């Protein structure tokens, strides 16, 4: 099916136990945060430009027998999402990347992604011919990278950049990389979807997750 636009997305840090990390070590870096989820939308991040999801399936290889093409061998795709956002809050972005803070306002650039910093992602779009019907793409966990940044001088036009973050998705046991959800199906449950992508004790509703203002912290 086809989709229309992109509304918002949610991200959270995932611990070794597979559950959302809350509090100071969570994506919001706030001791009072019981959700552990940050909502990327117009209010928090000046909106999302795109979410480009690729390699959701692998390539097919031809299998021949008796002079006929008899089968297609299906390889597994290396699923990834490139999320482009107008303005992710600086500290939230660094937590998504798993960058190490220096307690003086700096975050280390060491040339290597943090493979132990796992981020879950849920993206909301809509049906191409009914924008009241939501479509969701959820990914259980992945490593976020930002390979480059480019800043340039303003001239007669502002040279504005965006946050371009690549999620290299990982599988969760036998569940695969994630799931697609269609809100108009009779058995769709928004809360169960949210709990599946962001397993946590609080089970915050996807419609109104807690998004504390990003605070300074050592994480």
Give the torsion sign (CA, 23, 24, 28, 30).
Answer: positive
What tokens does 47 get? 């909106």
Residue 119 parent element (H or E): strand 118-127
- pLDDT of res. 219: 45
Cα–Cα distance for residue pair 194/189, rounded to 1 Å: 9
Give the global pTM. 0.90
Cα–Cα distance for residue pair 173/18, rounded to 1 Å: 10
Cα–Cα distance for residue pair 88/45, rounded to 1 Å: 5
pLDDT digits (tens), the chain, 219 positions? 799 999 999 999 999 999 999 999 999 999 999 999 999 999 999 999 999 999 999 999 999 999 999 999 999 999 999 999 999 999 999 999 999 999 999 999 999 999 999 999 999 999 999 889 999 999 999 999 999 999 999 999 999 999 999 999 999 999 999 999 999 999 999 999 999 999 985 544 444 444 444 444 444
- pLDDT of res. 202: 59
Cα–Cα distance for residue pair 89/77, rounded to 1 Å: 31
């Amino acid at each position: 099916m086809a989709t229309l636009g992109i509304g918002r997305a949610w991200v959270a840090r995932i611990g070794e136990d597979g559950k959302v990390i809350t509090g100071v070590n969570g994506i919001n870096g706030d001791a009072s945060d019981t959700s552990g989820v940050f909502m990327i939308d117009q209010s928090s991040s000046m909106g999302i430009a795109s979410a480009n999801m690729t390699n959701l399936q692998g390539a097919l290889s031809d299998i021949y027998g008796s002079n006929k093409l008899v089968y297609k061998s299906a390889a597994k795709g290396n699923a990834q999402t490139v999320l482009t956002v107008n303005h992710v809050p600086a500290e939230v972005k660094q937590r998504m990347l798993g960058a190490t803070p220096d307690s003086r306002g700096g975050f280390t650039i060491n040339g290597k992604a943090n493979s132990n910093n796992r981020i879950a992602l849920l993206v909301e779009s809509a049906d191409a011919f009914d924008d009241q019907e939501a479509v969701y793409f959820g990914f259980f966990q992945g490593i976020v990278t930002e390979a480059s940044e480019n800043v340039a001088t303003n001239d007669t036009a502002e040279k504005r950049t965006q946050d371009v973050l690549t999620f290299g998705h990982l599988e969760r046991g036998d569940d695969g990389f994630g799931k697609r959800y269609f809100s108009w199906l009779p058995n769709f449950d928004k809360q169960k979807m949210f709990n599946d992508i962001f397993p946590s004790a609080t089970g915050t509703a996807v419609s109104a997750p807690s998004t504390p203002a990003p605070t300074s912290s050592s994480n």
